[in-house]
């Protein structure tokens, strides 16, 4: 498994999501500027709410910047026996459906596709990520009252 290529795809998807957020923040800021002023309407609430939303989007963009920086500096280990940062884990739920998970620092849930396989990039801060950390292939973990079998760890 080429973890570096997979990591590059995650960073690329993160950058795309960040560009989309920047465009939405810019649009929201423009809408706030064009909203009626207190002199033009009975309320200045719309302008205030749009500016607040634009500011919140900028905060998210700042977090994306930090995540992008952390991922760019991260080098995943080639192979792992115990699940930790950089592990690719194949899990199976009670319905025998498998999923591929790539554990990375500071990501929410960024799905990417490599060679036709979808990988969910998650951080140890998520319930599933926290539940998997420190376990090995062949073990079972329970996360949010759902049992998950660990099929393999790379």
Collect contacts of 91-98 with beta carbons under 8 A, ≥24 apart: 91/132, 91/148, 91/149, 91/150, 91/151, 92/148, 92/149, 92/151, 93/146, 93/147, 93/148, 93/149, 94/146, 94/147, 98/151
Give the model's pLDDT for residue 107.
86
CA neighbours closer than 13 Å in the CB half-sphere of residue 13: 17
pLDDT one digit per residue (tens) for the chain, 154 residues: 689 999 999 999 999 999 999 998 888 888 877 776 665 555 567 778 878 888 898 899 999 999 999 999 999 998 899 999 999 999 999 999 999 999 999 888 899 999 999 999 999 999 999 999 999 999 999 999 999 999 999 9
* Selection from 148, 116, 150, 91 nearest residue 6 by Cα: 116
pTM for the model stands at 0.82
Let me know: does 89 contact 83? Beta carbons within 8 Å: yes
DSSP string, 11-26: HHHHHHHHHHHHHHHH
- Output helix, strand, coil percentages for the chain, rounded to the nearest 5: 45, 25, 30
Buried b (16+ CB within 10 A) or exposed e, 89-124: bbbeeeeeeeebbbbbebbeebebebeeeebbbbbb
């Amino acid at each position: 498994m080429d973890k570096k290529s997979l990591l590059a795809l995650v960073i690329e998807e993160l950058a795309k999501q960040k560009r989309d957020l920047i465009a939405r923040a810019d649009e929201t800021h423009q809408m706030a500027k064009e909203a009626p002023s207190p002199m033009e309407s009975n309320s200045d609430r719309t302008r205030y709410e749009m500016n607040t939303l634009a500011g919140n989007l900028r905060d998210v963009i700042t977090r994306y910047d930090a995540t992008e920086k952390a991922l760019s500096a991260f080098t995943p280990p080639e192979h792992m026996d115990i699940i930790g940062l950089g592990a690719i884990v194949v899990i199976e739920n009670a319905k025998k459906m498998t999923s591929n998970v790539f554990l990375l620092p500071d990501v929410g849930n960024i799905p990417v596709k490599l060679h036709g396989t979808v990988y969910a990039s998650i951080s140890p801060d998520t319930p599933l990520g926290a539940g998997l950390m420190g376990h090995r292939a062949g073990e079972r973990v329970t996360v949010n009252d759902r049992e998950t079998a660990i099929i393999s760890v790379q």
